[in-house]
Amino acid sequence: MDISPDFLVMLWSQLCWPLIRLLIFISIGLIVANFIEALNWTRWIASLAKPLVKLGNMSDTAGASFSMAIFSGVAANTLLAEAYDKNQLSKRELILANLFNSLPTYFIHLPTIFFITVPLIHGAAFIYIGITLGAAFLRTGSIVVISRLVLPKPDLSGVSTEAMEKKGIDWQAAWEKSWKRFKRRIRKIIKFTVPIYIIIFIMHRVGYFRELEEFAAGYLAWIPWLSPQAMGIITLHLAAELTAGLAAAGALLQEGALSQREIILALLVGNILSSPLRAFRHQFPYYAGIFKPRIAAQLIVCSQSFRVISLIVIGVVYYYLTL
């Protein structure tokens, strides 16, 4: 079989380099998480989110993961995975801690979302971002309440932070310990992440995900208040990417074909319908490397289900407030 230069360029740009880049970010997150644990800094980092962690009866590991998620979602999840593997976290707290991180994870993507939406839909962008931000706050707040109800109070009888600081920091020993763990863990991550990433890449190339998105886009008539133009925005949101839906929304808003309210509601529906499938496509390869594949799938299902529910709740509030 002849392999053309264009095919090799496509293979490098769409499969090899993205996979290498993903493994680099996972490796960095794994090293950081292992190093923090080796230095016993988990409790100190958790103090940044102490009020919420204490209110939710969560452990220092969950609090440290929440704080780290502001900078790196991979490092935050790696910290949770390491603790779960050592039986320092129950499966229930693992799921809750992962959901708890939805707010800092949102802030990682906020600058990108802001600078894409504002030029295309102008003032409507602030309302749209406000709704999605409100949903993120709702998710984190709800998890704090749920955690307080279902988790027992953590045991605080361990070594105090001051006692650990008095012992001093053995940087060399911490690095050796974290590097040893990294080498053991990265083999497992590569073993699961690489084949899963390749399988999902092939599924994407043969059009499997596109067919699913087009199938979902074809069943929008049940939403009575959507106009044909709004359905077009949602279809583009599903069949392409967020930018395509935003570009269509911006053009319709500029022409006066749709009101600001209709634009925002259409974008919300597109977000709700498209995000779960895209999350699975983009998150599952690296989640399956950090966690066990079965747990990775459960975490993604729980996260996306909770995300959809929160967006629906805030969206319904916006819908009735703007009638």
Q: What is the DSSP string of 172-207?
A: HHHHHHHHHHHHHHHHHHHHHHHHHHHHHHHHHHTT
Mean pLDDT of the chain: 80
Query: Residue 74: pLDDT band by 50, 70, 90 thresholds?
Result: confident
pLDDT at 159 over 70: no
- Helix ranges (H only) for 60-101 are 60-68, 73-85, 91-100
Residue 297 has a CB neighbour count (10 Å cut-off) of 15
Unique residue bearing structure tokens 């990265």:
186
264: in domain: yes
Query: Residue 155: pLDDT band by 50, 70, 90 thresholds?
Result: low
Query: Residue 132: pLDDT band by 50, 70, 90 thresholds?
Result: very high
167: in domain: no
The residue segments making up the domain with residue 288 are 5-152+192-321
Burial of residue 294, with CB atoms counted within 10 A of its CB: 0-12 exposed, 13-18 middle, 19 or more buried: exposed
Greater model confidence, 143 or 176: 143
pLDDT score, position 251: 81
pLDDT score, position 44: 64
Cα 97 to Cα 181: distance, rounded to the nearest angstrom: 22
Burial of residue 118, with CB atoms counted within 10 A of its CB: 0-12 exposed, 13-18 middle, 19 or more buried: middle
Cα 307 to Cα 309: distance, rounded to the nearest angstrom: 5
pLDDT score, position 168: 54
| pLDDT average, residue stretch 121-148 | 93
The closest of 29, 112, 21 to 68, measured between CA atoms, is: 29
DSSP code for 291: S
What are all long-range contacts of 256-263, with beta carbons under 8 Å and residues at least 24 apart? 257/229, 258/227, 258/229, 258/230, 260/123, 260/124, 260/127, 261/322, 262/227, 262/229, 262/230, 263/121, 263/124, 263/230, 263/233
pLDDT score, position 161: 47
Cα 287 to Cα 77: distance, rounded to the nearest angstrom: 8
Of 30-44, 72-86, 90-104, 242-256, which range is least confident?
30-44
Cα 279 to Cα 193: distance, rounded to the nearest angstrom: 15
162: in domain: no
210: in domain: yes
* pTM assigned to the model: 0.77
What's the number of domains the chain is made of? 1
Greater model confidence, 96 or 172: 96
| Contact yes or no for 293/192 (Cβ under 8 A) | yes
180: in domain: no
pLDDT at 261 over 60: yes
pLDDT at 11 over 70: yes
Report in angstroms the alpha-carbon separations of 59 from 45, 56, 88. 12, 9, 9
271: in domain: yes
